[in-house]
Amino acid sequence: METGIQSLPVRSDRYGLMDRETKDTWSVFKIMGEFVEGFETLRPVWPSVSIFGSARTRKGQPYYRDAVRIGEAISNAGFSVITGGGPGIMEAANRGAQKGAGTSIGLPIRLPKEQTPNDYTDRVIHFNYFFARKVMFVKYACAFVALPGGFGTLDEVFEALTLKQTGKIHDFPVILFGTRYWNGLLRWLEEQALRERMVSRRDLTLFQVTDDVGEVVRIIEHHYARRTRDRGPKGADGRETP
């Protein structure tokens, strides 16, 4: 099932150029539309886990195979899987999710170089705005899992950690999968950022690192059980969202 907010007609001047005031106004409505559509589509699939990783990873590579296993294990544990809906790690996680019992969801972004959604999603929502898309990754997730990736993956990881650090979202696990890949970043945080007091020792406990698919699922299940227990009967019915 694919959805997406379509372009809206705008007023032009006599030279055919878009009126700035009109463009800004229509942008507000497009943004609102992406939020509304995202909320209505993703609310029913809670609880979900957002999985991130490189679009450049190819089938047959170890990280691709890891993502398939993680997606399937999380799906079989009773969680929906949300990815960016593109190729590489995203495709692998969606592929694994479809092999499992949960719902596989893709949230592709419209880019100058068009990125085609992968073939392993049950629901797809197209976004024009990165910030609206980011809200959906966070709002309907009870955990983040980041496999090796580039700027986009790092952006999602550090945004989640910032939101946790500042208390702007409920606490949930941020799991970095692949110790060999993440070790350089962890060393830099310890030896540079922490040493120069740009982060605190507590900040470095906001995430966990593992190579074990089973541990990924155990972390998520443990946190979700505690979350629903702490929120009482309403939280325990499994349908309450962030």
Specify if 240 maps to a domain.
no
Q: What is the CATH number of the domain that holds 80?
A: 3.40.50.450
Identify the band that residue 103 occupies on the pLDDT scale cut at 50, 70 and 90: very high
Report the relative pairing of strands 208-210 and 174-177 from DSSP bridges: parallel
Indicate the residue type of 239: R
Residue 242 included in any domain = no
Number of domains observed in the structure of the chain: 1
Domain assignment of residue 201, yes or no: yes
Within 13 Å and on the Cβ side, how many CA atoms surround 192?
6
Lowest mean pLDDT among 102-111, 115-124, 206-215, 230-239: 230-239
Is residue 135 assigned to a domain? Answer: yes
Whole-model pTM: value is 0.84
The gap between the terminal CA atoms of the chain, to the nearest Å, is 24
- 213 assigned to some structural domain: yes
In a domain, 137, yes or no: yes
Structure-model confidence comparison of residues 40 and 54, the more confident one: 54
Q: Is 165 contained in some domain?
A: yes
Render pLDDT for 49-71 as a digit per residue (tens, 0 to 9): 999 999 999 999 999 999 999 99
**80 in helix, strand or coil?**
strand
For residues 147 and 228, the answer to whether their CB atoms sit within 8 Å is no
**What does the alpha-carbon distance between residue 189 and residue 207 come to, in Å, rounded to a whole number?**
12
For residue 204, is it within any domain?
Answer: yes
